[in-house]
A = this chain, B = another copy of it.
Amino acid sequence: MDLAIQIDQEIAARTQAVNQFVEKYLSDMELPAGSAISELRKSMLYSATNGGKRFRPVLSLLVGELFGAGKERILPFAAAVEMIHTYSLIHDDLPCMDNDDMRRGKPTNHKVFGEDFALLAGDALLTEAFMLIAENYGDNSFLVGHLTRLLSSAAGIRGMVGGQAIDLRAGDKQMSLEELTHLHRLKTGALIRVAVEGAAVIAGAKPTEIESLKKFGEGLGLAFQVADDVLDHGEKGQDLRSFTGILGLEGTKTYLKDVSASTLAELHKVSADAPLLEYLISFNQNRQV
């Protein structure tokens, strides 16, 4: 079989495992009575099962595998990361934020369930992420506290929410490379890094390995943003908050190559045999969509 097809299938199997876990968890939650609560569950499921790549949780599974951790051990954490990502998309799409009507070819949550239920679905998904951690890693005092700290830090004002705040108030001034990198590190990088770091911690990686994997996660998150800007270059032109706006198209391609190379180097410090994680780097570097 062609190697690329084989790798695609390997990734798809993990995406499916995440989808099944998230769908089962939200469907099986025991809830109080009430048709409104059933509707809220539907709203949570609508956004949590809408066919994304599951980039973050798949990353968690692959990192766990580096250290021999089975997917059952990593999946609850991976699902928590994905629920936090999903909640952020629901809130981001609201009229008071980006006001988006469509996401991944389907109406956004508030277009289907109303703004009030979209707001609540986001709130509930964020809350449920911490339940997943407590329920599944509560046998280990270090893990449950550490994972909660990692997720809270990556999701809150120190991370994702802080990045959104910067993005909202950036106005129409040209950002420097440093400012733009800071923005992305918080807005999307923090949760991607923690998807990697948390899985490594659960799987029992050594401190030096965790340090390298944090840099790998950060680099991968940054590389995805840079690649996005390369792909969007024709569409939005010299955006004030894009790498192409600062470095130009060719400069940005070079930057993507450099970031990808250093990200790969961090991975190699931990493992020389991680074809699927290597693939994520090279796929991103060469992707056309």
Contacts from A to B (Cβ < 8 Å)? 29-37, 39-41, 44, 87, 91, 94-97, 110, 114-117, 119-120, 122-124, 126-128, 130-131, 133-135, 137-142, 144-146, 148-149, 151-153, 155-158, 161-162, 164-166, 168-170, 182, 186
Contact = CB atoms under 8 A, between A and B. Distances in A.
A130 B157 contact: no
Contacts of A97: 116, 119
A122 B137 CA distance: 26
A167 to B, nearest CB: 8
A47 to B, nearest CB: 14
A27 B36 CA distance: 38
A61 B153 CA distance: 27
Nearest to A33: B182
B164 A120 contact: yes
A137 to B, nearest CB: 8
Contacts of A39: 165, 169
Q: Is the interface of A mostly helix, strand, loop or mixed?
A: helix
Q: How many of these chains are in the complex?
A: 2
A28 to B, nearest CB: 13
Contacts of A41: 157
A127 B154 CA distance: 10
Contact of A37 (B127, B141, B157): B157
A133 B162 contact: no
Contacts of A152: 127-128, 130-131, 134
A34 B166 contact: yes
A141 B124 CA distance: 24
A158 B36 contact: no
Contacts of A32: 158, 162, 182, 186
A156 B128 contact: yes
A95 B157 CA distance: 23
A157 B96 contact: no
Contact of A144 (B31, B115, B148): B148
Contact of A157 (B94, B114, B128, B138): B128
Contacts of A138: 141-142, 144-146, 149
Given A32-B186, A131-B156, A186-B32, A168 B117 contact: yes
